[in-house]
Amino acid sequence: MPAATMTDEDVLNWLQEEYTHPFEGWDFSYLEGRRIPLGALPWDYGVTVTPYLNKATSLLDIDTGGGEALADLLTTSAFSGKAHAVEAHAPNVPIARNRLSELGVDVIDTSERPAPLAAETFDLLIDRHGGSLPPLEIFRILKPGGHYITEQIGDQTNHELREVFGASPAVQPDWPHNAADASRTFEEIGFDVETLEEHRFPIRFADVGALVYYLKAVPWEVPGFSIAENAEALLQLHKRSADRGYAIDATYHAYLLVARKP
């Protein structure tokens, strides 16, 4: 973090350096101690998924990112079936394939076209922070009696950041935005919702450099964000951080759903 005596130009140059710091896969370790959760989810995604995974014979991980979470699940569970994954963000595809190939996972690139997935193929679909497959497609490719498990980011996440930078809400029009939306959507297409939880807590950005790095990694949260276009707001945040000891607190909103196809 720059010294208090630095000029506005110096601060903006520092922020540009933070913005361009390399980001790969879904690894936020660079922000350790700088993006600080001030709470926790009351569930654990891995603990929720594992009992279903242990019984499954065919698995699809939706929007696997760099394959980090799936690799952990496969190496800590008793799953012995065939695993596939889809990834819609092209830069993540080679990272996921490199990480997951030795675990026997077929990673399908869906950045340019949908995956050719046959109906009633999988008995378990898992989806942490994804959403590239619409609910009707999820129902179609899941076997009868199979389960879909998802942890999703809710629509209240980062609303403070969008307010600061004058951005529109980062929502997908065809995807549930909260627990109530999810329950209604999946029940309407024929699922039995077995588990539904929702929670919110703040996450603190200790400095503005951490914030701009984060916004580079998740560009959909503040579409069109750049250091130059948002310089005034960034400088104000930086100056306020010197007084209060942190840049900004932003809401983290998530929900967990477990649904069964009859």
Nearest residue to 66 (alpha-carbon basis) of 38, 36, 89, 35: 89
Report how far apart, in Å, the C-alpha atoms of 190 and of each of 56, 119, 145, 220, 249 are: 21, 15, 12, 30, 39
Is residue 126 in some structural domain?
A: yes
Report how far apart, in Å, the C-alpha atoms of 211 and of each of 59, 74, 188 are: 35, 32, 38
**Residue 231 corresponds to which tokens in the numbers above?**
């310089």
**Residue 27 corresponds to which tokens in the numbers above?**
């690894």
Report how far apart, in Å, the C-alpha atoms of 183 and of each of 54, 89, 122, 166, 198 are: 25, 27, 21, 31, 11
Report how far apart, in Å, the C-alpha atoms of 158 and of each of 24, 25, 48, 171, 200 are: 22, 21, 25, 12, 11
Tens digits of per-residue pLDDT, 99-136?
999 999 999 999 999 989 999 999 999 999 998 999 99
Give DSSP secondary structure letters for 98-165: HHHGGGT-EEEE-SSS---PPTT-EEEEEEES--SS-HHHHHHHEEEEEEEEEEEE-TTTTHHHHHHH
Q: Which residues contact 239 (CB under 8 A, 6 or more apart)?
A: none
First-last CA distance in the chain? 54
Tens digits of per-residue pLDDT, 209-231?
999 999 999 998 899 999 999 99
Identify the pLDDT of residue 220. 86
Is residue 31 in some structural domain?
A: yes
Is residue 244 in some structural domain?
A: yes
CB atoms within 10 A of CB 108: 19
CB atoms within 10 A of CB 235: 15
Identify the pLDDT of residue 197. 98
Report how far apart, in Å, the C-alpha atoms of 111 and of each of 47, 132, 216, 242, 247 are: 29, 10, 19, 42, 34
pLDDT in tens, the chain (262 residues): 555 578 999 999 999 999 999 998 778 999 999 999 999 999 999 999 999 999 999 999 999 999 999 999 999 999 999 999 999 989 999 999 999 999 999 999 999 999 899 999 999 999 999 989 999 999 999 999 999 999 999 999 999 999 999 988 766 666 788 999 999 999 999 999 999 999 999 999 999 999 999 999 999 889 999 999 999 999 999 999 988 999 999 999 999 999 999 9
Is residue 129 in some structural domain?
A: yes
Identify the pLDDT of residue 143. 98
Q: How many domains is the chain partitioned into structurally?
A: 1
Is residue 116 in some structural domain?
A: yes
Q: What is the CATH number of the domain that holds 178?
A: 3.40.50.150
Identify the pLDDT of residue 171. 63
Identify the pLDDT of residue 199. 98
Is residue 236 in some structural domain?
A: yes
**Residue 118 corresponds to which tokens in the numbers above?**
């046959």
Cα distance between residue 138 and residue 105, in whole Å: 19
Identify the pLDDT of residue 1. 57
Amino acid (one-letter) located at 1: M
Is residue 3 in some structural domain?
A: no
Nearest residue to 161 (alpha-carbon basis) of 102, 118, 225: 225
Is residue 2 in some structural domain?
A: no
* For helices 92-100 and 68-76, angle between their N-to-C axes, nearest 10 degrees: 20
Residue 257, SS3?
strand
Give the domain range for residue 106.
8-260
